[in-house]
Amino acid sequence: MLQRKPRIKKATIKKLIRFFAEDINATKTAHLIGINRNTTNLWYMHFREKILAHQEHENGSFHGEVELDESYLGGPRRKIHAKDRRKRGRGAENKVPVFGVLKRDGKVYTQIIKNASKQELLPIIRRLIKKDETTIYTDKWKSYDGLVLDGYKHKRINHSKSYSNRKGTHVNGIENFWSFSKRRLAKFNGVSRKTFLLHLKECEFRYNHKRDILVLLRKIINA
């Protein structure tokens, strides 16, 4: 749990929920409502805690056409030198490794991972994804080797050549989610590891509930 949120009027809480749903930052929200910036921050974090609980409860199994991918998110901004730009690989300094599962035309689920190894990813895949009537789409990352032997129908795309082919073998959906998340997290000029999971699940929540975010927020916050 984060720091205890201050008591405020119910009408003010409703305004906070509306501005949060509209993705208005805490500084501007505090100014619009006329309350302290720290108070706004604490209530925003309270909303994120509720979102985290909702997303974990909502999580279920995936089937159909499912895309898998990993990314590295968060971390403070820093100046990138030319030699760092040349570095390639499955990792990034000061970033948090995250695994994503996305059902095409459906929802995304994210989980913080220790690394992108097969030993780390395979148990998550087995837990979340049904083998029957499911096709998994991934890139060529070695940790996905052997999914066919594990009983999954598996198609791969080579990023060095293209992002898709005529048969629909692509991971554009999960790539779009990563782009969305990176843009949102960049607004905070770096996210601490202490609060990273809350921000990650907020990204997941906003992506999954674009059309009904305000109604759902009011329901899960019970306000």
107-122 pLDDT per residue, tens: 999 999 999 999 999 9
Place of tokens 């309350």: 35
- Dihedral (CA of 111, 116, 120, 123) sign: positive
Mean of all residue pLDDT scores within the chain:
87
pLDDT level of residue 84 (50, 70, 90 thresholds): very low
The pLDDT of residue 223 is above 70: no
CA distance 218 to 50: 11
Q: What is the pTM of this model?
A: 0.86
What's the pLDDT at 60?
78
Q: Which tokens hold the place of 221? A: 């916050």
Question: 205, 7, 200: which is closest to 97 by C-alpha?
Answer: 200
What's the pLDDT at 93?
65
Mean pLDDT score, 56-81: 81
Cα 111 from chain centroid?
Answer: 8
3-class DSSP assignment, residue 35: coil
* The one-letter amino acid at 212: D
CB atoms inside a 10 Å sphere around CB 208: 18
Report domain extents, the chain: 10-57+210-221, 61-191
- Please say whether the beta carbons of 20 and 47 come within 8 A: yes
Which fold would CATH assign to domain 61-191?
Answer: Nucleotidyltransferase; domain 5 (3.30.420)
Q: Which tokens hold the place of 101? A: 């599962």
pLDDT tens digits for 27-50?
999 999 999 999 999 999 999 999
* The one-letter amino acid at 172: N
Mean pLDDT score, 135-144: 96
